[in-house]
């Protein structure tokens, strides 16, 4: 079992930045493939970014160049740096994980690629 807990959400004005963190605990001794997802009110959950076992990162077109995903294996922490935020980035952001090796490609922007989920943290961007 893997437990995930997000932090770092909040309110920011358009053009601002936020940094989200996801702490992993439990059976994290195996390699984890991880990703960030978001769900805006009235919309379906959307894959935002993923990072593979080899460090390869993949981003949704809507956040490419503005968001950066990174992973600190020593502390079992996944991070999403969000810069130049826009009002359309407003959503609940969740981290997700699955054990095993992965290449972090487009497949890992799909929710069904993951087994473990955090509760989410809310991000509100005002224009």
| pLDDT score, position 50 | 96
Q: Rounded to a whole number, what is the distance in angstroms from the first to the last CA of the chain?
A: 40
Q: Which residues of the chain have pLDDT under 70?
A: 29-30
Span 54-83, pLDDT tens digits: 889 999 999 999 999 999 888 889 999 999
Please give the C-alpha separations between residue 27 and each of 5, 55, 99, 108, in angstroms, as whole numbers: 14, 20, 9, 20
């Amino acid at each position: 079992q893997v437990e995930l807990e997000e932090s770092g959400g909040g309110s920011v004005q358009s053009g601002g930045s936020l940094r989200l963190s996801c702490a992993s605990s439990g059976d994290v001794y195996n390699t984890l493939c991880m990703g960030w997802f978001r769900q805006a009110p009235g919309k379906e959950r959307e894959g935002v970014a993923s990072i593979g076992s080899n460090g390869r990162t993949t981003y949704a077109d809507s956040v490419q160049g503005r968001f950066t995903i990174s992973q600190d294996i020593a502390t079992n922490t996944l991070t999403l740096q969000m810069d130049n935020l826009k009002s359309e980035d407003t959503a609940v952001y969740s981290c997700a994980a699955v054990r095993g090796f992965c290449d972090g490609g487009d497949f890992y922007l799909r929710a069904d690629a993951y087994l473990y989920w955090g509760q989410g943290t809310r991000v509100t961007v005002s224009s």
